[in-house]
Structure 1
């Protein structure tokens, strides 16, 4: 039987359409968020991290209050604060910056390579742990033992004028245990963050400060200030215990949706890229060490002054730096935005983002600096004046804190600008050199003024040195980093600084009219906020006016 011909006499039999076969699903993208909505997950992670970090900072303040209540600001506290230099530096190098720059990329690459374990017969993440953790643990342990053995020499180097160096040596040997515990903490934090696990790493300082406070309260009567140093050892162990079980569970199962990275072995693979980044890691570590050296300089110079000088400097700096920390949270969040823009070659977007960040961070830090300067005695009295911390300690600490506040803008700018220098992912020595010049100026001015002005000269040297570093970094931005429009940036900074000076004067006048410290602080803060906000609006400060308009629109939308 002949087939039916189509109309028009075409005898060509057209092939019947074949139903489309279902295509195999594309392999999952190793960089794709497997937790659902990436933006939602990251927003929740950021909020969780912020809340736990704030809780850790609050407990750090309680820790300082407990130390001040039990031991005041005398020779015992000075001895402990010399030993406290060890965990301060270790936290920067092993938890917050140095180790993370090396381990987070390594773990991220290993997680992506997990899809090849069937071919190679092993889990690359476990292989990385097996290859790196034992060696690093030995290095951490050796560093701690070296510090324990060399504690007398270290104390002599840091504070040669201490009246009781043996107490500082004992405390240093106890705090030296943090080289092992902080190293393991940093290792676990890097591995967990690479696995998109943020809860345990964010909780480490809650555990750390809880351990110090509990040890202080339990052992202060028997051990004296050595209990605080023992608390560092206990808190370090708690930081490891918070994370180790979570990391162990992560290592026993593979992350779904991982693939072998192209070029995972051989030339151009992740290993080669990580080796190329070692120069970047070196510059970042040297910058962090150079900036941390301001603590060494201050305690070295203050060790020759009467008992309590180091304590007054420490308490003043801890409180004064809070506005700076708050202002830099914005730059931390926008740092990836700048880096991605530079990676795409979109320097205009990066420039606009950096200019807005500088202006807004300056508004935040200068408003805080105005409050600190105007209400310093009230703040210190409310926070610390109890127990062994006397009214004389309050007066001395408040005067130092006012001088520190003069350098807060410099600290903020250095923290904001250095992110721009490193955002391109290329090593640069200019921030290290600039920081070295600033610290040299700090050491020189501090040495010249400590004999005449005492701790006030040390604080002034700190403010001058960090401001000089900020000037060096800012003026070279267009040539060595993101090409910001310097005249525009300076104009906005000048307007904000003028508003801050006027607000400080208003806060001083208003706070002095109230005798009760809490009421005086409240009135001073209200005066500073009112004058500062009105002047920013009147001067049309570009970081402030859009923020107010945005908030106003949101309020109208809610209504």
Structure 2
């Protein structure tokens, strides 16, 4: 994107259209669908194991809670999402007008939005498949969905950009969404399968077998509100940036995507262990769930803070290596790197929100606390962003994002102990403080050392060694247990996950 379209009107128009798949990804793949369906499938798997005793293979297949769950949810989901995608295609001008009211020429954004709206259906199916497979401890096909997605985007964009311009990127998003479904389909059929649809005249025993489904759908509202409020941070960002000079939306987007990579990497730990926590909660073993959550928080926080130190310390070098070619100028590099440093201040908050929200939705009962905490953070984001954008432009928008997500993380950390799992909140907070000190020292070291080497690639590569070394040395000096006991933590974490 940076090479072909730089940071200007075309890239801004595409990013407005990309808001649709970003929201769809949050709702239908990452947050809402996973938080809803992974526990539902985990409960169904637990019931399958308890109900197979004394049944023939044919009887077990006919009464399989997992297949009954699929049969009662997937057809309805497909019909609903197809209807939503159709509405978005028709209402694309209205959508663009709401998302970016200050955009000078919205027509290109409208055309791109009509293409990206198709992902609502494909992402929903892909997210459903992913949740089911992860509950079955099958992680490779779900891990391949974004590889497929990027192959579709990049391949279509490279092949058609000369003919369609930035519309080729939007068409690639639609193509990539289809590939996300196809790459998981064989594994879904093999591990899960398609169950019979639930009939209207189902008996009481049939309804009892479908109870996990009813419990899951009882959680829809709080999960969806949480996911929508979380993704609305991007809507606030683009709404406020639409009135700034061309390229502001693109600078914010490039900065956000690169800055969030440490958070994405750190949350892989929680993604792998989420089904384990859900099954422990379903079995009533809250002590086991507490230990897993605390260990997840320790490892995820360590990973994200080390990554934060690297992102802030070497921001200009990272952006220059990744983007500065073609239509992306050196001025774009400086603007994006500066914004990225502000964004990175909120990375720990993003990581904690992702890690702490999962236990809330592991229980087989709805809970509104994460949605309320997220709404409080979103309110901080909106108010602070509206105030700060007048004086600091994109920096004010990025700073408001960091303030809002940190507010939500603090509320979730305080609230999880009394509502879901009795983790040691004070101990976790002290650990986070020590890791933050180590991250600050590593960040300062990288900020000073980075410009000393003129070649940006060599500088960033050495930073990947220098920053972790300083982080580890400082963490050891201040006796941060997550640093000194890291090998033991990793070994224990993944032995337990198996």
TM, length-normalised to structure 2: 0.87
Matched, 1:324 2:230: no
* Alignment partners' CA distance in 2, 1:533 and 1:252: 47
The more displaced of 487-496 and 459-468 is 487-496
* Alignment partners' CA distance in 2, 1:200 and 1:182: 14
**8 A Cα contact 1:508 1:524, kept in partner:** no
After superposition, where does 1:29-178 map in structure 2 within 5 Å? 67-100=1-34, 105=40, 109=44, 112=48, 133-178=74-119
**Offset of residue 241 of structure 1:** 3.1
Specify the alignment match of 2:222 in structure 1: 283
**Offset of residue 490 of structure 1:** 2.1
Specify the alignment match of 2:125 in structure 1: 184
After superposition, where does 1:123-272 map in structure 2 within 5 Å? 133-190=74-131, 199-244=140-185, 247=188, 266=205, 269-272=208-211
Q: Which residue, out of 509, 524, 529, partners 2:468? A: 529
**8 A Cα contact 2:42 2:275, kept in partner:** no
Specify the alignment match of 2:410 in structure 1: 471
Q: Which residue, out of 423, 435, 439, partners 1:496? A: 435
* Structure 1 residues 220 and 551: alpha-carbon distance in aligned structure 2, compared to 1, 3 A threshold: closer
* Structure 1 residues 249 and 403: alpha-carbon distance in aligned structure 2, compared to 1, 3 A threshold: closer
Residue deviations 1:391-419 (CA, integer Å, cap 9, x gap): 00000000010001100111111112112
* Alignment partners' CA distance in 2, 1:292 and 1:179: 15
Specify the alignment match of 2:394 in structure 1: 455
* Structure 1 residues 552 and 513: alpha-carbon distance in aligned structure 2, compared to 1, 3 A threshold: farther
Aligned length: 479
Q: Which residue, out of 422, 430, 454, partners 1:483? A: 422
**8 A Cα contact 1:101 1:281, kept in partner:** no
**Offset of residue 326 of structure 1:** 1.5
Residue deviations 1:22-56 (CA, integer Å, cap 9, x gap): xxxxxxxxxxxxxxxxxxxxxxxxxxxxxxxxxxx
**8 A Cα contact 2:442 2:467, kept in partner:** yes
* Structure 1 residues 331 and 123: alpha-carbon distance in aligned structure 2, compared to 1, 3 A threshold: closer
* Alignment partners' CA distance in 2, 1:534 and 1:121: 56
Residue deviations 1:43-77 (CA, integer Å, cap 9, x gap): xxxxxxxxxxxxxxxxxxxxxxxx11000010100
* Alignment partners' CA distance in 1, 2:225 and 2:343: 24
**Structure with bigger gyration radius:** 1
**8 A Cα contact 1:360 1:544, kept in partner:** no
* Alignment partners' CA distance in 1, 2:450 and 2:135: 48
* Structure 1 residues 484 and 160: alpha-carbon distance in aligned structure 2, compared to 1, 3 A threshold: same
The root-mean-square deviation of aligned C-alpha atoms, in Å, is 3.2
* Alignment partners' CA distance in 1, 2:286 and 2:178: 45
* Structure 1 residues 380 and 222: alpha-carbon distance in aligned structure 2, compared to 1, 3 A threshold: same
Structure 2: 5+ residue stretches without partners: 196-202, 493-498
Q: Which residue, out of 376, 396, 415, partners 2:354? A: 415
* Structure 1 residues 279 and 149: alpha-carbon distance in aligned structure 2, compared to 1, 3 A threshold: same
**Offset of residue 516 of structure 1:** 1.4
The more displaced of 286-295 and 357-366 is 357-366
Residue deviations 1:394-450 (CA, integer Å, cap 9, x gap): 000000100011001111111121123233333211111010000010011000111
Higher helix share: 2
Residue deviations 1:336-390 (CA, integer Å, cap 9, x gap): 4544555565544444443333233222111111111110000000000000000
* Structure 1 residues 481 and 137: alpha-carbon distance in aligned structure 2, compared to 1, 3 A threshold: closer
**Offset of residue 492 of structure 1:** 1.6
Structure 1: 5+ residue stretches without partners: 1-66, 255-263, 554-559
Specify the alignment match of 1:556 in structure 2: none
TM, length-normalised to structure 1: 0.78
Identify which of structures 1 and 2 has the higher relative contact order when contacts are C-alpha pairs closer than 8 Å and 6+ apart. 2
